[in-house]
Amino acid sequence: MSEALARKPLSVASATGAAAFSPLYQQIKDLLVQALDRGDWKPGEAIPSETELALRFQVSQGTVRKAVDELASENLLIRRQGKGTFVSTHHEARVRFRFLRLAPNQGEPQPAESQILDCKRIRASAEIARALELKVGDSVVAIRRLLSFAGVPTVVDDIYLPGALFKGLTADLLNGYVGPLYGFFETEFGVSMVRAEEKLRAVNADSEMSVLLGIPQDTPMLKVDRISFTYADRPVELRMGHYVTDRYHYRNSLN
């Protein structure tokens, strides 16, 4: 039995207090999400086997399997044939590219070149506080980032993070990191982005975006407002991106 199992023996009834109308597999799924949220198993680590989890929760292995299957379909867990089930991490390409939606109109995607233009602590405005479920005036880390592809500036991201979760985050730390930004948040601050909601609309480049992206003012652009969530649907990032789309498009899949 794993250390996490030995440390936290738990039954469905004691952990959820859920009423009988909630399907048993759903209760198990909720308990597993709680364990992920607590950090019982870190990103990239294997979770206990279905047999161990069935013993822990005092349910059938089939019930555990259904819960794990749902978490895998939501990309919170990753099954590896012959190796077990692992916590998803943004250091894996198939997870990382779920959040990277910009694709070239022609040819293969190129790696993005990231430049941190600014990183500072500010007080949450009403808009930021509402999106991140904070109080107006709470500490927020504000990051401005420029993404270029093949040397061509293409995206300006304005990113806002709860200050309490990202203590010590600086521009030097960000610029010294090579890899996906969400992977950095995951490794250095223990914050996993597991899903996002986005709103897209067409805008014209203002004078500021014109300078940053080297395009004429009033050039048509795509604006993407994203709220990213960690486990238990807690918002942990507000991102406002401005995209130049003359050579790129924003792709999505509907199932």
Is the predicted pLDDT of residue 8 greater than 80, yes or no? no
Could you tell me if 70 and 124 lie in one domain? no
Burial 60-77 (b: 16+ CB within 10 A, else e): eeebbbbbbebbeeeebb
Nearby residues of 214 by Cβ (< 8 Å), 6 or more positions away: 153
Q: What tokens does 221 get?
A: 């652009």
* 40 pLDDT tier (thresholds 50, 70, 90): very high
Angle at 15 between CA 9 and CA 21, to 5 degrees: 135
Could you tell me if 73 and 109 lie in one domain? no
Q: What pLDDT is recorded for position 107?
A: 77
Domain count across the chain: 2
Q: Does some domain include residue 95?
A: no
Identity of the highest mean pLDDT range in 8-12, 35-39, 233-237: 233-237
> In the listed set 27, 56, 87, which residue is the last one of a domain according to the structure?
87
Instruction: Tell me the residue range of the domain where 241 lies.
Output: 103-250
Q: pLDDT tens digit string along 236-252? A: 999 999 999 988 888 87
Q: What pLDDT is recorded for position 178?
A: 83
Taking CA atoms, 173 is separated from 121, 143, 176, in Å, by: 14, 12, 5
Cα–Cα distance measured from residue 212 to residue 215, given in angstroms and rounded to the nearest whole number? 8
Could you tell me if 108 and 191 lie in one domain? yes
Lowest mean pLDDT among 94-98, 135-139, 213-217, 247-251: 94-98
Identity of the highest mean pLDDT range in 86-90, 141-145, 248-252: 141-145
Cα–Cα distance measured from residue 13 to residue 171, given in angstroms and rounded to the nearest whole number? 46
Could you tell me if 82 and 194 lie in one domain? no
Is the predicted pLDDT of residue 16 greater than 60, yes or no? no
Is the predicted pLDDT of residue 92 greater than 70, yes or no? yes
Q: What pLDDT is recorded for position 110?
A: 76
How would you classify the pairing of strands 152-162 and 195-204? unpaired
